[in-house]
Chains A and B, each alone.
Chain A
Amino acid sequence: MDNQIVLKKSLFRSDAVQRLLAFGALILLFIVFSIASPNFFQFDNIVGILLATAVNGILALGVTFVIITAGIDLSIGTVMTLSAVMTGVFITFWHLPVPLGILGGLATGAIAGLINGSIIAKMKVPPFIATLGMLYIAKGLALVFSGLKPIYFNDTPEFNNMAMSSVLGAVIPGFDVPNAVLIMFGAAIVAGLILTKTVLGRYTFALGSNEEATRLSGVDVDRWKIAVYTLGGLFSGLAGVVIAARLNSAQPSLGQGYELDAIAAAVIGGTSLSGGEGTILGTVIGAFIISTLSNGLRILSVPQEWQTVVTGTIVILAVYLDIVRRQQQ
């Protein structure tokens, strides 16, 4: 009898349910918006949604790891901005080759993450505070290094092409999905493999599940925590490079607020803020829900400010559903 109860429970594993629910919600949104407006389900508009998801999706991938450890990273938005600005500094100001500039942008994000992780693991500053501090530091540094002005990549068109031209369109004529979208899916696959197939992924869950138990098992908890925040920072760096390439410029004042969209994407996708649970697929679906929602509402001429209100409501709803399900268990 014991065994039956156990089996029943496993069918209702909450992250699986949440993912299913989130996927259902995404389909529902598509159906509702398609009925409401003939302009919604058009190839160009769908591409627009995909493109809008790219940057937020990449940010959300990184923060998913952090949240699964029962931590939080509020700095991802402005670290993304700083990474974009540094890419601009390397490519436009210093005239470094584009690939080197990109590496520099990625490294900027990873270093910010490394610092976050070290402050949290070694100095025992709570993640909320440590990364809130980093939010301001990165924001300030982005303004300092850019000289308060956007940095343009006009001398290096290949940088913009990297994100906005379409490899897919070259292979399948007419199917012009910008590379930025492919970069996001590629990053998602890599993130999924890391989370499910590697020791880093295993310890990400173990940390969020029972940090003390993980420590007592002989795992160097501090080191792995730093690794997780560094990985999160690396994804912010990638998001910075992609947004800079997409806009053909590094905008030093853009970025704050992105962290909330990314965290919302992870949470809507079933990543538990209390740690130990989450999937990459769920996060990607969550990111699509957010961008589909704002795209659809825009097509229906709902003002921008109301779109934000709706997103907030959805986040609360998603977390509330998560809590209800936990209580049932």
Chain B
Amino acid sequence: MTTLLKAIGLTKRFGGLTAVENVSVDVNLGEVVGLVGDNGAGKSTLIKMISGVYPPDEGELIFDGKPVSLSGPREARDMGIETIYQDLALAENLDVGSNIFLGRELKNRYLGGLVNTLNRNKMREESARVLDRLDIHIPSLAQQIRNLSGGQRQTVAVARTIYWNAKLVIMDEPTAALGVTEQRKVLTLVRTLCEQGVPVIIISHNMQDVFAVADRIVVMRRGKKVGELIAAKTTPDEVVSLMVGAEAVHEMGVIPKALNGAAGSV
């Protein structure tokens, strides 16, 4: 299996707080990696180092066989690392096409590039094409994002990454705040991406989701990686007990089952 991304010993400190400590993760082509952990476990910080938002204090990233140091999210995107954030990073008052092209607008150039105008038609056409390719249906591309449902927003965010030929897609809590049917659609989309050759890192609190799509599960706790499991060979109970720390489970006796239920419903 080809390894697309190798993160080695990533560490990030904010003042006295070590948010992520010496975490290494591999992402291979054709797989979905689930990244789980309790609130404050350092999942988002780890993701932000991979997507260029935070420069790591220690450690290195090897992407596509080459060591990289990212100066910002723009550079990560240019290399093919696309991130879909929890708050979706969509501009609510702009329409679907404008969001897919946000930050990389297509332009008409006049007077040798002195005057540039937005090429709205082209952007709308291209948006329709990529949505078709992913079998996504949105009533009108002229809709402002705020008029779309949570699931539709999520699909717009995914469509954006696909349009820009993402090599690796990172999704932060993609199913939070979605209805059951929409959750299923998004998870199907994750598998579709993976089958089209784009590996996905998915962060989730929801054990059902993680087990539904992930091939491999990386567990974080208090900034450290505490486990890496093959999804087919583990159970939600085992993952949860790693998430909260085995000691905690022992102390609380019969708690694991209850915790699992709680984690499943978050």
Contact = CB atoms under 8 A, between A and B. Distances in A.
B116 A199 contact: yes
B147 A6 contact: yes
B107 interface: yes
A212 B104 CA distance: 16
A2 B152 CA distance: 11
Given A2-B149, A9-B147, A218-B72, A202 B118 contact: yes
A206 B102 CA distance: 8
B87 interface: yes
Nearest to B152: A2
A292 to B, nearest CB: 30
A216 to B, nearest CB: 4
**Interface range for B:** 20 to 34
Interface residues of A, number: 27
B118 A198 contact: yes
A277 interface: yes
By CB atoms of chain A within 10 A, which of B77, B91, B116 has the most? B91
B202 to A, nearest CB: 18
B85 A3 contact: no
B96 to A, nearest CB: 12
B103 A208 contact: no
B77 A205 contact: no
Interface string A183-221: 000000000000001110110011011101111111100
B117 A197 contact: yes
B45 interface: no
B53 interface: yes
B118 A218 contact: no
A121 to B, nearest CB: 16
Contacts, number: 82
Of A2, A218, A276, A277, which is in contact with the most chain B CB atoms at under 10 Å from its CB? A218
A3 B143 CA distance: 11
B140 A217 contact: no
Nearest to A9: B147
Contacts of B77: 218
B91 A206 contact: yes
Contacts of B105: 199, 202
Contact of B73 (A9, A201, A216): A216
B94 to A, nearest CB: 6
B127 to A, nearest CB: 14
Contact of B90 (A201, A205, A213): A213
A175 B100 CA distance: 49
B74 interface: yes
Given A197-B118, A198-B118, A217 B147 contact: no
A203 to B, nearest CB: 9
Given A6-B147, A199-B118, A216 B53 contact: yes
Contacts of B104: 217-218
A10 interface: yes
B93 A208 contact: yes
Given A198-B118, A216-B53, A276 B92 contact: yes
Contacts of A123: none
A213 to B, nearest CB: 4
Contacts of B93: 205, 208-209, 276-277
B103 A6 contact: no
A7 interface: yes
Query: 10 shortest A-B CB distances, which residue pairs?
Result: A218-B74, A217-B103, A276-B93, A209-B91, A213-B89, A209-B93, A3-B139, A218-B103, A217-B102, A197-B117
Given A199-B116, A202-B98, 11 more contacts: A7-B140, A198-B116, A202-B105, A205-B93, A209-B93, A209-B94, A210-B92, A213-B85, A216-B89, A218-B72, A277-B93
14 contacts: A6-B139, A10-B140, A10-B144, A202-B98, A205-B94, A209-B92, A210-B91, A213-B90, A216-B53, A216-B85, A217-B89, A217-B102, A218-B73, A277-B93
